[in-house]
Amino acid sequence: MQFMLLFSRQGKLRLQKWYTAQPDKLKKKITRELVTTILARKPKMCSFLEWKDMKIVYKRYASLYFCCAIEHDDNELLTLEIIHRYVELLDKYFGSVCELDIIFNFEKAYFMLDELLLGGEVQETSKKNVLKAIAAQDLLQEETDDTKSLLEELGLTG
Amino acid sequence: MMSDAVEKAFAAIPGLISGGLTTITAGSPIHVQGFPSFVHKVCSLTSKYEEEQVVKRELTLVKQRLAQPNITQAQQADCLVRLLFAHVLGYDVSFGYISAVKLAQQGTLAYKRMGYLACTLFLHENHELVLLLINTIQKDINSSNIMDVCMALTATCSLVNTEMIPAILPFVQEKLKHQKEIIRKKAVLCLFKFHRMAPNSVQHIHHSFKEALCDKDPGVMWSALHIYHDLIKHSPSEYQDITQSLVSILQQVVSRKLPADYEYHHVPAPWLQIKLLQVLALLGKDQQKISRVIHPVLAEVLQRSESNQNITFGVVYECILTITSISPDTRLLEYAAKCTGKFLRSKANNLRYLGIKALTKVIQVAPQHALDHQMTVIECLEDPDHTIRAKTLELLYRMCNSVNVKVICDKLLEYMEKDTEKSIKGDIANASLRGEDSVLLFAVQTYWELLQRKDVPNKLIQIGAW
């Protein structure tokens, strides 16, 4: 995967993750054009696009669009399921996720994405394992004495 | 009024304001509004100009705060959150990059996590600041705290560049032996990234790839398959001997030998099935003997993929591609063509689109299957979705032969008459330009007929080049 973008129906970018090094200017250009292209498409149209040299897979969930650029030999339907899995994870974490959750807690959404995808490839397919890893990381925030024992309980200490 | 109330409510959420409301400095205190109220304010503004005012004011404030000598890690993390927010909105926050690096270097626990996140989002592998992170990444990969290791490996994947690989590689390689599969998996994906960037840099550790491929954890093995996918793409003949092992793995996956954890919507490890199918497609290409080893498992994959789940279609689609890539087997091709029909007749646009793509592949190996679907395909030209129409055109050129050229051309011209979109006419012109053997005949005729029309766009006239 080359990048993932989350944007609103109004075309506001909410989250962006680039897996290939690109100059900022190009990123902005790609984002702007792609958002316009996707927003212009009708709801029932197919979720795949051949756009410039890229293969684009996108899906709308409530007020947010999730959009990925993938390699030419990547499977489109599998990419849709990766997006779906990400939404499921956010849903579970925030408890029925909405756009506001992602605006106000975007760093959490990034942490979640980093456990699901690494370097643009899926690293963990089990929902349970991703949430377990995130729960362990969130415990760092508390910095309490019993953090260590909780980590051990979750099987995440070295 | 309403928005005031909401703003207060947001500002009152205590856990979200990690930086505190006031920062005491050596001189006068800087008053800082909580992150949520800042975000709320930005979101409630309707004009770009107002937004710019608010964000720029905030950035100036953040700059001042970051310059304070006694700033705490919590305050630095709070500043970075604000910078990241402004960054996504498109503002230049490069003044704060160095603070992200510092927090990744010196931060503890959650603050280090924030520092690394900001680094991966602000910087990229070719950014000059990443050099400052080499030591930190080395140290953290070696840490006894598993969280530090995870963060460092994640950062490695997005920030290490070709020159840095030799300095980091031994540490990553070491992690392939880690007892936790989450670490082994991340390490393998780092190696995959290195291999993509500079295959030579990891040439001497191919034995480690093999160990990873034989890992007892299916997730680690799957990650290693990414590397093999690339290796095999470049020199398929060198890896023929692993075909049998991959075939048996696929066989085990489809007969549900993996733990239930690996099922996705009741389909056994679809991502693993798809990856294996992609790799087998490369191994069997133009290799009759190898292909014969692969054929039986492909039939099994199709037989066991009967449900109407999206992901099942994903597996079937990949399987069709594999069947058309390796040395042909008549029975399998028939099976593949039958499955393609299911895609084409679907009401879901996604499936129809993939059906058109799959048929394009099928008829390249087995042109006789074109006829079964000819009318369904031609109807796709009427689809309101440009993506589907464009793919259909591509397929029609491939399907075209001396028998059906008249039918297809008539339909195309009829369609062009109705269609008002310039782009699709351009598509036709472009595709005609490719002028491949069987396509040529079709193109000549299209061209001939088009020339007799008055409303043809200039672009089409230009195809007179040939």
Contact present, B269 and B311 (Cβ < 8 Å): no
Retrieve residue B181's tokens: 């599969």
**Most confidently predicted of A78-82, A150-154, B343-347:** A78-82
Contact B147 A45 (CB under 8 A): no
Residue of A nearest to B272 (CA): A125
Retrieve residue B19's tokens: 């930086």
Q: Rounded to an integer, what distance in angstroms lies between the CA atom of residue A127 and that of residue A86?
A: 9
| Residue range(s) defining the domain that contains residue A127 | 3-154
**What's the pLDDT at A152?**
55
Nearest-5° Cα angle at B279, B325 to B164? 130
Query: What does the pLDDT average to over A116-137?
Result: 92
Contact B124 A22 (CB under 8 A): yes
Q: Count CB neighbours of B456 within 10 A.
A: 16
In this prediction, does ipTM exceed 0.85? yes
Q: With 80 as the cut, is the pLDDT of residue B367 above it? A: yes
Q: Minimal Cα–Cα distance from B455 to chain A, Å?
A: 27
Residue of B nearest to A119 (CA): B157
What residue segments make up the domains of chain B, in order of their start?
9-122
Which residue of B350, B380, B389 to mutate against A (max A Cβ within 10 Å)?
Answer: B350
Helix-helix angle B405-418:B437-451, to 10 degrees: 50
B385 — phi, psi (to 5°)? -90, 120
Q: Rounded to an integer, what distance in angstroms lies between the CA atom of residue B424 and that of residue B381?
A: 10
**Mind listing the pLDDT tens digit for each residue in B265-320?**
899 999 999 999 999 999 999 999 999 999 999 999 999 988 889 999 999 999 99
Contact present, B210 and B221 (Cβ < 8 Å): no
Of the pLDDT bands very low, low, confident and very high (cuts 50, 70, 90), residue B371 is confident
Of the pLDDT bands very low, low, confident and very high (cuts 50, 70, 90), residue B443 is low
A127 neighbourhood in chain B, CB within 8 Å:
none
Q: With 70 as the cut, is the pLDDT of residue A120 above it? A: yes
Among residues of chain B, what percentage have pLDDT more than 70?
81
Q: Does A140 touch chain B (CB under 8 A)?
A: yes
A61, A65, A71, A72 alpha-carbon torsion, rounded to 10°: 80
Q: Minimal Cα–Cα distance from A135 to chain B, Å?
A: 12
Of the pLDDT bands very low, low, confident and very high (cuts 50, 70, 90), residue B381 is confident
Mean pLDDT of chain B: 84
Q: Rounded to an integer, what distance in angstroms lies between the CA atom of residue B223 and that of residue B185?
A: 6
**What's the pLDDT at A57?**
98
Contact present, B79 and B122 (Cβ < 8 Å): no
3-state secondary structure labels for all residues of chain B: CHHHHHHHHHHHCHHHCCCCCEECCCCCCEECCCHHHHHHHHHHCCCHHHHHHHHHHHHHHHHHHHHCCCCCHHHHHHHHHHHHHHHHCCCCCHHHHHHHHHHHHHCCHHHHHHHHHHHHHHCCCCCHHHHHHHHHHHHHHCCCCHHHHHHHHHHHHHHCCHHHHHHHHHHHHHHHHCCCHHHHHHHHHHHHHHHHHCHHHHHHHHHHHHHHHCCCCHHHHHHHHHHHHHHHHHCHHHHHHHHHHHHHHHHHHHCCCCCHHHEECCEECHHHHHHHHHHHHHHHCCCHHHHHHHHHHHHHHHHCCCCCCHHHHHHHHHHHHHHHHCCCCHHHHHHHHHHHHHHHHCCCHHHHHHHHHHHHHHHHHCHHHHHHHHHHHHHHHHCCCHHHHHHHHHHHHHHCCCCCHHHHHHHHHHHHHHCCCHHHHHHHHHHHHHCCHHHHHHHHHHHHHHHCCCCCCHHHHHHHHC
Q: Does B350 touch chain A (CB under 8 A)?
A: yes
| Chain Cα centroid distance, residue B341 | 27
Mean pLDDT of chain A: 89
**Residues paired with A58 in a beta bridge:** A67
Q: Does A47 touch chain B (CB under 8 A)?
A: yes
Which residue of A104, A106, A152, A156 to mutate against B (max B Cβ within 10 Å)?
Answer: A104
Tell me how many domains chain A contains: 1
Q: Does A129 touch chain B (CB under 8 A)?
A: yes
| CB contacts < 8 A (A, B) | 149
**What's the pLDDT at B163?**
95
Q: Does A14 touch chain B (CB under 8 A)?
A: yes
**What's the pLDDT at A154?**
58
A42: domain CATH number is: 3.30.450.60
Contact A141 B110 (CB under 8 A): yes
Of the pLDDT bands very low, low, confident and very high (cuts 50, 70, 90), residue B244 is very high
